[in-house]
Amino acid sequence: MNVAVLLARAALAHPHAPALAHGERVVADYAAASERIARLSGGLIALGVEPGDRVALVMKNHPAYWEALFATWHAGLTAVPIHSKLHPKELAFIFENCGAPVVIASDNTQSACEEAAGMCPGVRHVIGIESTAFARLAAAPPLPLVPRAPDDLAWLFYTSGTTGRPKGVMLSHANLLAMTLNYFSDVDAIAREDCIVHAAPMSHGSGIYILPHVARGACNVVAESGGFDAGEIFRLWRRHGQVTMFAAPTMVKRLTEAREDADPAGLKTIVYGGGPMYVADIQAAILRFGQRFAQIYGQGESPMTITASDKAVHRDSAHPRYLERLGSVGRAFTGVEVMVAGEDDRALPLGEIGEICVRGSVVMQGYWKNPEASSKALANGWLHTGDVGALDHEGFLTLKDRSKDLIISGGSNIYPREVEEALLTHPGVAEVSVVGRAHPEWGEEVVAFVVRRPQAPPSAAELDDHVVANIARFKRPKQYRFVDALPKNETGKVLKTALRSLL
């Protein structure tokens, strides 16, 4: 089943219900949105693409992202949502790897996309959402919904790995439908009068929750700023009411600490995830906004759907293990199996710490054109998350650590190997190791330990300029610590635990 049928169904059931809003203004009802999506789909097919081809979406939050996403699916194509702040070199790798003939860009990404496309002969069209080319797509004859099989690819999500190169997570139409149904069973109910406010990136977690809200005929509200602004979010709560939003823990913390007046009456639910939430922080958020919180734990390979704690768990403050439950990431989603495994890939007893493994209909098909990584990640029929945790006797999963190298800063994943490789291309860098350091607002920040070559030792400012010239700015180290040598074990492996202890 093509997941775009969820939009077609909503248009039949609720044609005059608000479908899409930009800030405080509703821009389309479901009937109008469905008609425009059909025309955009026809315009995409007129470019010479065929069902299954990839369309890269490199856009800040904007109503046109919502339109382009559904138009891609409606036409039987595969959506490739990409972080809008990536460097052109990073974009070029993804464009080339996925073989996208079409790239749709917002005004703030078009220049970078065009530069990246210049490195990729397979990219035939870079279309800005404000351009006449995009307007021509929307003026095309409407295209009937293109049927897709459940296992056909719908969403190709690039997530960096410890190898330093992004891997394309293959999510099928069946995966996305299972995720949608899991939202209803384990996260929250949605009514037609509800809406979701997108203040977190729609290319990532917030965008995944487009589908359950469309399935119920609810409105998708895109913050007019295109990003996160506490004052704007509070205004949207008051304007729209019955608001749900997805937020990384750092966003929840910033909302809690914001000085602006925030009447929570218009807020229905904040679903938080994407990084560690400290118990003190969620308690402070509940104190300010009331019992309106639900938590999810997932990753790109099992989108937002490994475990969840719904609002009932958060409200049950009289439970004798309330704080332990609050500090966990909840129980397994319906139809999802979670196992904490030892090195032999067998389940460990309750309470013991091991790798978190997952299986179920939400788990990815594998990594795009990367059978070796796919085989490793899906060994023995389980998704190996690389995260470490423990299960208790009630089924609650508590994260004890994340994969050793991953840094989560402001809800964005940063893999040290990417930063290390960028630094090692500087002629003055002999060795480097990158680790995360706790940060009170962003969760973590990047710190680079650098061994410089004595002939021409670079300054921190010089290294910073070099990093920004090669990878996205948000991945740059916030501190460079120059050392004579990196601590290593007997096999020569850098001991990052020793580096973290220095912080």
Q: What phi, psi does 472 have (nearest 5°)? A: -60, 145
Task: Give SS3 for 199.
Answer: coil
Asked if residues 82 and 203 have their Cβ atoms less than 8 Å apart, the reply is: yes
Closest CA to 80 of 64, 90, 69: 69
How far, in Å, CA of 494 to CA of 57, rounded? 37
Q: What is the mean pLDDT of residues 326-353?
A: 95
CATH of region 1-10+30-148, choose from 3.40.50.980, 3.40.50.700, 3.10.310.70, 3.40.50.10130:
3.40.50.980
Q: What is the mean pLDDT of residues 416-443?
A: 88
pTM equals 0.86
At 27, the pLDDT band (50, 70, 90 cuts) reads: very high
Q: State the helix-helix crossing angle for 88-98 and 110-117, rounded to 10 degrees.
A: 60
How far, in Å, CA of 191 to CA of 280, rounded? 31
Q: For the chain, percent helix, then strand, then coil, each to nearest 5? A: 35, 30, 40
Q: Which amino acid is at 398?
A: T
Domain boundaries, the chain: 1-10+30-148, 333-401, 407-502
Q: What phi, psi does 111 have (nearest 5°)? A: -60, -45
Stated as kind and residue range, the H or E segment containing 117 is helix 110-117
Task: Give SS3 for 13.
Answer: helix
At 104, the pLDDT band (50, 70, 90 cuts) reads: very high
Alpha-carbon distance values, 444 to 22, 108, 300, 388, 414 (Å):
31, 26, 20, 18, 10
| Whether the predicted pLDDT of 64 surpasses 50 | yes
Q: Which residues of 429-461 are buried (b: 16+ CB within 10 A; e: fewer)?
A: bebbbbbbbeeeebbbbbbbbbbbeeeeebeee
Q: What is the mean pLDDT of residues 23-29?
A: 97
Q: Which amino acid is at 355?
A: E
Domain at 407-502: CATH architecture: 2-Layer Sandwich (3.30)
128-185 pLDDT, tens digit each: 999 999 999 999 999 999 999 999 999 999 986 444 688 999 999 999 999 999 999 9
Q: What is the mean pLDDT of residues 289-297?
A: 97
Please give the mean pLDDT across all residues of the chain. 93
Asked if residues 503 and 437 have their Cβ atoms less than 8 Å apart, the reply is: yes
234 versus 404: which is more confidently predicted? 234
Q: What is the mean pLDDT of residues 253-280?
A: 89
Fold (topology level) of 333-401: Luciferase; domain 3 (2.30.38)
Asked if residues 241 and 266 have their Cβ atoms less than 8 Å apart, the reply is: yes
How far, in Å, CA of 364 to CA of 133, rounded? 34
Q: Which amino acid is at 400?
A: K
Write the burial class of residue 363 (CB in 10 Å: 0-12 exposed, 13-18 middle, 19+ buried): buried
The per-residue pLDDT for 142 is: 98
Q: In 378-491, where do the E strands start and end?
A: 383-391, 397-401, 407-409, 412-414, 429-439, 443-452, 479-482
How far, in Å, CA of 57 to CA of 81, rounded? 5
Q: What is the mean pLDDT of residues 202-221?
A: 96
Q: What is the mean pLDDT of residues 303-324?
A: 95
Q: What is the mean pLDDT of residues 184-188?
A: 97
